[in-house]
Amino acid sequence: MDKIKVRFAPSPTGPLHIGGARSALFNYLFATHNGGELVLRIEDTDLDRSRREYEDEIIDSLHWLGLKWNEGVDIPGPNGPYRQTERLDIYAKYTLQLLESGQAYYCFCSEEELEAERKALLASGEMQKYSGKCRSLSDAEKAAKFAQGIKPAIRFRVPEHEEYVVDDLVRGRVSFASDDIGDFIIVKSDGIPTYNFAVVIDDVLMGITHVIRAEEHLSNTPRQLAIYDALKLKRPEFAHISLILGSDRQKMSKRHGATSLIQYRQMGYLPEALFNFLALLGWSPEGEEEILAPAEIMNAFTLERVAKSPAVFDLDKLNWLNQQYIKKLEAGELAELVKPYLEDSVWNEQILKLDQEHYNLMVMAVRDHLVALSDIKQEVEVFLAGLTYENEAKQLLSEEDVLPVLEVFGDGLGEFMPVDEVKSYLKRLTKELKLKPKNVFMPVRCALSGRTHGPDLPSMVSFWGCDETRRRLQHSIEMIKEWR
């Protein structure tokens, strides 16, 4: 068997979508699992909507996700160029071949005409396909149209009574009748080929052995098969993976919230988490473990285990996965990852003043509370904000036996710093006062932070240091007296 070669071929008409990312991922997984190669091709034949910025953005997203390819628009290879608009002369040769053999023909119909035709067909309930009006124009008629200055499109003449069969690697055998397909345009009037045409030429020339793409392309496949046949080209294998749906079971769109990879990146989702999550959407490993590193997924990935049914994007599960990955982060890693979010927050100035030790102490103290990295902004507030009291804390502090506890805590406060020392000090106090741990920890927590819950108390005390801790304690003691 030939070496496996797959491709991901996005259109640079917007940021990389979740669905596109998953298609890319499955191609990547299939390639790496089988020791094959991945090509990144840019399908920019829609001149109006394609933009170079999007191309860069897509590549950036792909890299961020952790995907790599062997050749493509940014990596020179033997089958370039990899941008379709740079391959126009290549398509032209095949167009000519089709035209000369009569398998394609010029179509002079205007868009208005076609639109009207379509509407009429829709209204009458008939099959919506091109009427074939320009199918058999005489040379004279064609010359007349050209003379009028009309720029024709080129249509592919779909053979009659053919059956196109796809042995899809995930869906099994699917067949289409050619009679249900109207002659379709392969070259637009501006000379740019359309998707269904260019994709065939490119996949063949680039040596693609397996076309893995979203299910929305399944009904395009017979058109492409017709072109393979007309040009006597060898067909690749096909695998159509199911769509990703929003929570309302509709195709994912903007109104479902964040749909581009960039947005998830900005919100602070880790690439490993997205990689893992996307892989689990439509594919499942044999074992029961679901938290899998990229390498493990590559190892286990096969098309046989790809599901046919569409999958709803489950943000809850992504959140859970992301949290799992964040929990595994070490201080240094977390500190780095979280930095941009803090720099972007109101705490930036204070954070700049912190030494590495304090900074790490703080982020590690809240690490297990983070669902996404951006949560750091809220989580860190208790360390950096001034002392204000939540109602519940106020209530607790107003209880009878709280004051003595706070005073004793303040008296014994030394010049310590490490978290462990604070912790053992608090434990010791608990024993000496013959109180339940809760009756020591909670008053102190409320007095120092103004809140009934938050990060680990010893970490906070250690972070503030004895001066700030004393200051907060004194303030609270005064407040308590005032409240009485």
**Using rule CB under 7 A, residue 23 touches RNA:** no
**Using rule CB under 7 A, residue 296 touches RNA:** no
**Using rule CB under 7 A, residue 188 touches RNA:** yes
Binding segment for RNA (CB under 7 A), chosen from 53-61, 63-71, 110-118, 395-403, is 110-118
Which residues, 6+ apart, have CB-to-CB distance to 40 below 8 Å? 7, 8, 9, 59, 62, 69, 71, 72, 73, 74, 75, 82
**Using rule CB under 7 A, residue 178 touches RNA:** no
Give least dist CB 19 to RNA, A: 10
**Using rule CB under 7 A, residue 160 touches RNA:** no
> In this structure, what token pair is assigned to residue 58?
């897509």
Among positions 128, 263, 299, 388, the unique one binding RNA when judged by CB under 7 A: 128
Residues 440-469 interacting with RNA (rule: CB under 7 A): 441-442, 445, 452-458
Q: Between 265 and 294, how does the x/- string for binding to RNA read (CB under 7 A)? A: ---------------xxx-x-x-x-x----
Is residue 145 part of the annotated active site? The answer reads: no
Among positions 174, 258, 298, 337, the unique one binding RNA when judged by CB under 7 A: 174
- Tell me how far apart the alpha carbons of residues 331 and 382 are, in angstroms, rounded to a whole number: 19
Phi–psi pair at 217, nearest 5 degrees: -90, -5
Nearest to 295 by CA among 322, 269, 319, 276: 276
**Using rule CB under 7 A, residue 395 touches RNA:** no
Give whichever of 3 and 431 is closer to RNA, judged by the CB atom. 431
Give least dist CB 119 to RNA, A: 11
**Using rule CB under 7 A, residue 348 touches RNA:** no
Residues 199-218 interacting with RNA (rule: CB under 7 A): 199, 215-218
- DSSP annotation of 400 reads T
Query: In which residue are the tokens 């191309």 written?
Result: 55
**Using rule CB under 7 A, residue 309 touches RNA:** yes
**Using rule CB under 7 A, residue 250 touches RNA:** yes
How many residues sit in the footprint of RNA (CB under 7 A)?
90
Among positions 4, 6, 8, 11, the unique one binding RNA when judged by CB under 7 A: 11
Among positions 5, 18, 31, 43, the unique one binding RNA when judged by CB under 7 A: 43
Phi–psi pair at 408, nearest 5 degrees: -65, -40
Nearest to 187 by CA among 155, 139, 219: 155
Among positions 64, 81, 90, 129, the unique one binding RNA when judged by CB under 7 A: 129
**Using rule CB under 7 A, residue 131 touches RNA:** no
Label residue 181 exposed, middle or buried (CB < 10 Å: 0-12, 13-18, 19+): buried
Label residue 187 exposed, middle or buried (CB < 10 Å: 0-12, 13-18, 19+): buried
Distances from the Cα of 41 to the Cα of 59, 80, 193, 241, angstroms? 11, 9, 15, 19
**Using rule CB under 7 A, residue 327 touches RNA:** yes
Give whichever of 286 and 482 is closer to RNA, judged by the CB atom. 286
Give whichever of 268 and 454 is closer to RNA, judged by the CB atom. 454
**Using rule CB under 7 A, residue 391 touches RNA:** no
Label residue 463 exposed, middle or buried (CB < 10 Å: 0-12, 13-18, 19+): buried
**Using rule CB under 7 A, residue 304 touches RNA:** yes
**Using rule CB under 7 A, residue 302 touches RNA:** no
Among positions 133, 137, 207, 220, the unique one binding RNA when judged by CB under 7 A: 220
Among positions 118, 142, 339, 377, the unique one binding RNA when judged by CB under 7 A: 118
Contact at 8 Å (CB) between 416 and 425? yes
**Using rule CB under 7 A, residue 243 touches RNA:** yes
Which residues, 6+ apart, have CB-to-CB distance to 279 below 8 Å? 25, 29, 292, 297, 301
**Using rule CB under 7 A, residue 175 touches RNA:** yes
E-strand ranges in 217-365 read 237-241, 244-245, 311-312
Contact at 8 Å (CB) between 193 and 119? no
- CA 458-462-468 angle, to 5 degrees, is 115
- Tell me how far apart the alpha carbons of residues 466 and 469 are, in angstroms, rounded to a whole number: 5
**Using rule CB under 7 A, residue 432 touches RNA:** no
- Tell me how far apart the alpha carbons of residues 219 and 445 are, in angstroms, rounded to a whole number: 63
Q: Which of 254, 353, 438, 481 is catalytic?
A: 254
**Using rule CB under 7 A, residue 97 touches RNA:** no
The catalytic residues are 254
